[in-house]
Structure 1
Amino acid sequence: MLTAVLVFAILPAFLILGLGLVARAVAAQRLTPRVVQYAPARDTTVLRDALLVDADRRAASAALIDLAVKRKIHLIAGAGKREPIGVELVSGTVLTAEEAALLEALFGPEHTSTRVRRFSADRRALAGRLKSLLLNTEHALARDGLVAERRVTWPGVTLTVLAYLGMLVEALFLVFTIIGGEWGALIATLVAIAATIATIFVTPSSWRKFLPAADARREHLAGLKQYLELAEADRLRVLQSPSGAELRTTDAAASEAVVTPDVPGALAPAAVSPASSVAPGADPIARFHLHERLLPYAVVFGLEREWLAKLKLEHAELATTNLDSLGDLVDVTAEIAVAIEAAGSVVELTSAVGDLADGAGNVIGGVFELFNL
């Protein structure tokens, strides 16, 4: 019996487990960055970049935090953790098509102003709207030639079917070994069952296939992640480029698109504010703004707590050395940190939002009402 278990249970179980690990490695499609990067690439968005690193669960929260960093919204946390987090638009804010779609997903027709509970109907509706938002973003990446139009599914389906078939065979061996009292064969069967169950968990059900055109952008993101991981001040100063980083304005009135007055909800291109090159090591305020701008990407890579701590240290340093020049420096780091703490985690941030309000504090019923303001 032990020989039969080894041949028909142990070997197949570890074979498909090995194939599952190979499929997981292939699905990751990892790239090694050639250069450490310290600023996002041009002509991209946080939402798109999140999909390019397979950070789907964090994409919407990162995009929402990006709106706060750009001073387009304020995140207003309640007094307690069970209270909803308000989102207030800054006066004069204009939105890109993608940003409007994000707000539409978060504050759609089925949204309630109360804190969303686990497994509630509103939570399921929100998850469906966010899934549609990410799917539309993935289609946009496919149109740009960065990802394949269809996901890779056949390895996950094949290995999952083989795993369940293997479990049927192993169940039969388990019954026979218990009846026969062969403890060696029983232990071997249990090991095979554990390996088969592990295959189901480690094998990705599907994954998006990145095309060669996406390699440069994904390498840039990998370099950006390296920079975010090296949060010690001395190492950051060593890695900073002598030519400085491109800093875009945080003025909420400058954007890639505006709402046109002729067609409600329609979006049209608008002038993008000029960028300026500032050496982050030379101007503490410029360095703070640069690092604050990277906070949404820290969320994408799961490094938001470390990066928030970094920003708090830099802000404390600014407060003691640049009191006269801090006039227009609006610190959103604290409100983002409080909002994440109130939500429980950054992943839960989108499900914890309550009302959407305008700059005067009036509740906005929906995105169409927002366009008519």
Structure 2
Amino acid sequence: MAATRLARTLVTIGLTAAALLVPTTPAAAAAAGPAPAAGASTAIRADVDDFSYASWDARYEVGLDDDGRSHMHVTESLTARFPEVDQNKGIVRGLPTSYENAWLDVRVLSVTDETGADVPYETEQEDGLLLVLTGDDDYVRGLTTYVIEYEMRDVILAADSGVDEFYWDLLPLDSTQPVEDFRAEIVFDETMTERMTGNARCYTGYQGSTNECDLVASPDGSQFAVEAKELSPGEGITIAVGFDPGTAVQPSARQPDPVTDTVPAIAALGGLGLSVGSWIAVSAFKKKRRTSSGIIVAQYDVPDSLPPLLATGIVPGAKDPIPAEIIHLAVRGLLRIEDGTDVEQPRLRRLPGGRIPDELDAQALDALFVGADAAGVAEVPSSSEDFAARMKTLSQSGIEAAVSRGLTTKARGRGAMILQWCAIGVVLAGFALGLWGIIGGRVTAIPAFVAIAFGVFLVLLSSFYGFSKHTVLTAEGARLYEYLMGVREFIRVAEADRLRMLQSYTGAERRQDGSANVIVVYERLLPYAMLFGMENEWGAILEQVYAYEQRGASWIGDPSAPFVRGQLVAFAATSHASATYAAPSASSSSSAGGSFGGGFSGGGGGGGFSGGR
């Protein structure tokens, strides 16, 4: 109801603001036309909650049914004092639908006026209240009486103090209407009267007030009456009458039941844990498929059939293959990387006569030199949707080649599927238990049911991953993966170890004096160092080797100038940005034992809401 009242308040503020814009000068008043006659309907209505109750009389008849459970018949006679303008069409009486974890099974029997004539009404459920909206489309003015008759059950509570109690709020504390004259009678049947403890209290005031009020009992003790005058909006009247323990049979919803109140939440956590385990099993499955011999041997040459584009489809988490592929083509003598007119926009020059190692390298050359000039020079644009699209297609071709060459395949992880099925079974069982609690009327089962419902959603969502086929390596793919890990190991070890390996290698390219051509080997490994994210470290090694040989790199920049690894880092960043460019798109209750004292206004069941419509 708080949201409803807030909306009404905002409407009132808006109407008030509109009223301030009405012209007040004589000329403006004349232009606006004559004022409405007295008693006529005004264009701007005040807040529908702006009225009072001349009287609020209520009679509560409380007893036990054949099952020993408490029931209550209530007759409320509410006389509203509406303003003499077209503001209200009736009242709204909100009745609570639950009390201390149990549903009250509220049933509205009738709404009449003081003569017994039927008053039109309708009911709505909102925020734990059954709203009784009286009246129709006709406005009402002045004193108007509404007699609302309704029934509830399970209004007697087994209190923490060890006794049963009728602990009830007789007035709604969530109300903006003052009450000029209040009177209530509470009548208990013979069985309940016999089991009274003799303790009874009455509390008055705002929510939480411990001020006591007079509670008048009949000679036989079966009836209690309380009266009050000039109650401000929000002031309540609460009574607490004690009975012997076990007087009223409590609904099962008030008895602790971990099966419906706790187990579903535990099942939600268990199901989510199994789903997480399924994801971990998928990761372990992928990792297992990357193992061939399990032995990593340092390697310092890469076969022509394993260009960077293809290697990216084999090595999980490899960096952007486009910069690595361009460097690969450059060190193989198929192109040169030159400075462009703009420092941040290098250009590529295609060199004739070189041997193209692999079909993917041929596709890369074709994609890079689209639109090249007559001299075979193509710019690497800083931002181009067309260039980015070509590079994306080129990267995808490497992944597709890994499939077509039998290096990767799609497969499901058996362990992941078993765990995911277990997760589904656990949450569905928990959901069934939670639903059983809800159907049984257990308010305490609602939090656990919400948790299990959320758990079911997440587990089913997780199933799309757990049951899916995932890209994994074949036996041949695993062998090449271990080979590439050997290349990474060679890049990682100390320089002295690398040189010893080169001297023992009989197949490496050699100089005329028979020593291994270190520069050629190191240059050809540079693209793979970039895939592993080690280009900065490997560029530093190349820088030292070029300096020792007193020469520059023949494949980037000015061959006569010393190689600086900053050239490599800057080019990698520029080509990565170009390849990935994309254009921008456009009321609380308590069972503390109020009949013994220590209670407070608003501490019981009942109360509800009152407002206008």
More helix by share: 1
Kindly state the Cα deviation for residue 37 of structure 1 after the two structures are TM-superposed: 1.8
Q: In structure 1, give the amino acid aligned to 2:490.
A: Y
Kindly state the Cα deviation for residue 66 of structure 1 after the two structures are TM-superposed: 0.5
Matches for 1:95-114 after TM superposition, within 5 Å? 95-96=356-357, 97-108=359-370, 114=381
Kindly state the Cα deviation for residue 16 of structure 1 after the two structures are TM-superposed: 0.9
Matches for 1:292-307 after TM superposition, within 5 Å? 292-307=523-538
Find 1:10's aligned residue among 269, 287, 297.
Answer: 269
Q: Residue 130 of structure 1 aligns with which residue?
A: 395
**1:307 & 1:222 partners in 2: Cα distance?**
16
1:145-176 deviations in Å (ceiling 9; x for gaps): x444xx236889979x99xx99x999xx9xx9
Q: Residue 87 of structure 1 aligns with which residue?
A: 348
Identical aligned residues as a percent:
17
1:69-95 deviations in Å (ceiling 9; x for gaps): 1122112344767x4331111243453
**1:241 & 1:122 partners in 2: Cα distance?**
39
Q: 1:229 aligned to 2:492?
A: yes
Q: In structure 2, give the amino acid aligned to 1:137.
A: A
Q: In structure 1, give the amino acid aligned to 2:274.
A: L
Kindly state the Cα deviation for residue 13 of structure 1 after the two structures are TM-superposed: 0.7
Q: Residue 22 of structure 1 aligns with which residue?
A: 281
Q: 1:115 aligned to 2:377?
A: no
> Using a 3 Å threshold, how does the CA distance of structure 1 residues 185 and 228 change in structure 2: closer, same or farther?
farther
**2:513 & 2:303 partners in 1: Cα distance?**
14
1:27–1:204 Cα contact (<8 Å) kept: no
Q: Residue 191 of structure 2 aligns with which residue?
A: none
Q: Residue 356 of structure 1 aligns with which residue?
A: none
Q: In structure 2, give the amino acid aligned to 1:84.
A: Q
Matches for 1:152-231 after TM superposition, within 5 Å? 152=411, 207-230=470-493
2:340–2:379 Cα contact (<8 Å) kept: no
**SS of alignment partner, residue 471 of structure 2:** coil
Q: In structure 2, give the amino acid aligned to 1:4.
A: P
Matches for 1:217-366 after TM superposition, within 5 Å? 217-230=480-493, 232-237=494-499, 240=501, 242-244=503-505, 246-248=507-509, 279-280=515-516, 286-316=517-547, 318=548, 322-323=549-550, 326=551, 330=554, 332=556, 334=563, 337-338=566-567, 340-342=569-571, 344=573, 347-348=576-577, 350-351=579-580
Find 1:75's aligned residue among 331, 337, 361.
Answer: 337
1:68–1:75 Cα contact (<8 Å) kept: yes
> Using a 3 Å threshold, how does the CA distance of structure 1 residues 87 and 305 change in structure 2: closer, same or farther?
same
More strand by share: 2
| Aligned residue-pair number | 296
CA RMSD of aligned residues (A): 5.0
Kindly state the Cα deviation for residue 55 of structure 1 after the two structures are TM-superposed: 5.5
Find 1:46's aligned residue among 308, 315, 323.
Answer: 308
Q: In structure 2, give the amino acid aligned to 1:304.
A: E
Q: Residue 141 of structure 1 aligns with which residue?
A: 405
1:340-373 deviations in Å (ceiling 9; x for gaps): 4155377446458xxxxxxxxxxxxxxxxxxxxx
**2:337 & 2:467 partners in 1: Cα distance?**
35
Moved more, 95-104 or 64-73: 95-104
1:171-203 deviations in Å (ceiling 9; x for gaps): xx9xx9xxx899x979x88x979x979969997
Q: In structure 2, give the amino acid aligned to 1:225.
A: R
Q: In structure 2, give the amino acid aligned to 1:243.
A: S
**2:308 & 2:388 partners in 1: Cα distance?**
23
Kindly state the Cα deviation for residue 100 of structure 1 after the two structures are TM-superposed: 1.9
> Using a 3 Å threshold, how does the CA distance of structure 1 residues 292 and 21 change in structure 2: closer, same or farther?
same
2:345–2:574 Cα contact (<8 Å) kept: no
Kindly state the Cα deviation for residue 54 of structure 1 after the two structures are TM-superposed: 3.7
Structure 1 spans left out of the alignment, 5+ residues: 250-274, 281-285, 353-373
1:249-290 deviations in Å (ceiling 9; x for gaps): 9xxxxxxxxxxxxxxxxxxxxxxxxx999554xxxxx22321
Kindly state the Cα deviation for residue 101 of structure 1 after the two structures are TM-superposed: 0.7
Q: Residue 358 of structure 1 aligns with which residue?
A: none
**2:476 & 2:518 partners in 1: Cα distance?**
31
Structure-2-length-normalised TM-score: 0.39
Structure 2 spans left out of the alignment, 5+ residues: 1-260, 372-377, 558-562, 582-613
**2:455 & 2:278 partners in 1: Cα distance?**
15
> Using a 3 Å threshold, how does the CA distance of structure 1 residues 185 and 233 change in structure 2: closer, same or farther?
farther
Q: In structure 2, give the amino acid aligned to 1:226.
A: E
1:13–1:196 Cα contact (<8 Å) kept: yes
**1:245 & 1:197 partners in 2: Cα distance?**
57
> Using a 3 Å threshold, how does the CA distance of structure 1 residues 338 and 197 change in structure 2: closer, same or farther?
farther
Kindly state the Cα deviation for residue 20 of structure 1 after the two structures are TM-superposed: 0.5
**2:553 & 2:368 partners in 1: Cα distance?**
28
**1:197 & 1:341 partners in 2: Cα distance?**
46
Moved more, 301-310 or 99-108: 99-108
> Using a 3 Å threshold, how does the CA distance of structure 1 residues 312 and 2 change in structure 2: closer, same or farther?
farther
Q: Residue 363 of structure 1 aligns with which residue?
A: none
**2:386 & 2:466 partners in 1: Cα distance?**
30
Q: 1:60 aligned to 2:322?
A: yes
> Using a 3 Å threshold, how does the CA distance of structure 1 residues 339 and 247 change in structure 2: closer, same or farther?
same
1:84–1:115 Cα contact (<8 Å) kept: yes
Moved more, 295-304 or 34-43: 34-43
Moved more, 295-304 or 341-350: 341-350
Look at both structures and tell me which one has the larger radius of gyration over its CA atoms: 2
Kindly state the Cα deviation for residue 243 of structure 1 after the two structures are TM-superposed: 2.2
Kindly state the Cα deviation for residue 223 of structure 1 after the two structures are TM-superposed: 1.3
Q: In structure 1, give the amino acid aligned to 2:383.
A: V
> Using a 3 Å threshold, how does the CA distance of structure 1 residues 92 and 216 change in structure 2: closer, same or farther?
same
Higher relative contact order at CA 8 Å, sep ≥6: structure 1 or structure 2?
A: 1
Q: In structure 2, give the amino acid aligned to 1:25.
A: A
Q: In structure 2, give the amino acid aligned to 1:247.
A: A
